[in-house]
Chains A and B, each alone.
Chain A
Amino acid sequence: DAGVTQSPTHLIKTRGQHVTLRCSPISGHKSVSWYQQVLGQGPQFIFQYYEKEERGRGNFPDRFSARQFPNYSSELNVNALLLGDSALYLCASSQPGLAGMNTGELFFGEGSRLTVL
Chain B
Amino acid sequence: AQSVTQLGSHVSVSEGALVLLRCNYSSSVPPYLFWYVQYPNQGLQLLLKYTTGATLVKGINGFEAEFKKSETSFHLTKPSAHMSDAAEYFCAVSVWSSASKIIFGSGTRLSIRP
A11 at the interface (CB under 8 A from B): no
Rounded to whole Å, the gap between the CB of B92 and the closest CB of chain A is: 7
Q: Is the CB of A48 within 8 A of B100?
A: yes
Of the candidates A40, A45, A111, the one whose C-beta lies within 8 Å of that of B102 is A45
CB contacts (< 8 Å) of A108 on chain B: these are 43-45
The complex places the Cα of A45 from the Cα of B4 at a distance, in Å, of 14
A105 at the interface (CB under 8 A from B): yes
- Interface size for B (C-beta < 8 A) is 23
Rounded to whole Å, the gap between the CB of B25 and the closest CB of chain A is: 13
- Interface segment among A64-72, A78-86, A95-103: the answer is A95-103
Rounded to whole Å, the gap between the CB of A88 and the closest CB of chain B is: 9
Q: Is the CB of B100 within 8 A of A41?
A: no
B13 at the interface (CB under 8 A from A): no
A22 at the interface (CB under 8 A from B): no
Rounded to whole Å, the gap between the CB of A19 and the closest CB of chain B is: 19
Q: Is the CB of A43 within 8 A of B104?
A: yes
Q: Is the CB of A101 within 8 A of B96?
A: yes
Within 8 A of A (CB), among B64-114: 90, 92, 94, 96, 99-107
The complex places the Cα of A109 from the Cα of B82 at a distance, in Å, of 25
Q: Is the CB of A110 within 8 A of B41?
A: yes
Closest to B34 in A: A104
The complex places the Cα of A69 from the Cα of B100 at a distance, in Å, of 19
B61 at the interface (CB under 8 A from A): no
A21 at the interface (CB under 8 A from B): no
A16 at the interface (CB under 8 A from B): no
The complex places the Cα of A90 from the Cα of B90 at a distance, in Å, of 14
Also in contact, A109 and B102, with CB within 8 A (given A42-B107, A104-B92): no
Task: Please list the 8 inter-chain residue pairs (A to B) with the smallest Cβ-Cβ separation, ordered nearest first.
Answer: A108-B43, A42-B104, A56-B99, A56-B100, A45-B101, A48-B100, A55-B100, A108-B44
Binding site for A on B (CB under 8 A): 32, 34, 41-46, 49, 51, 90, 92, 94, 96, 99-107
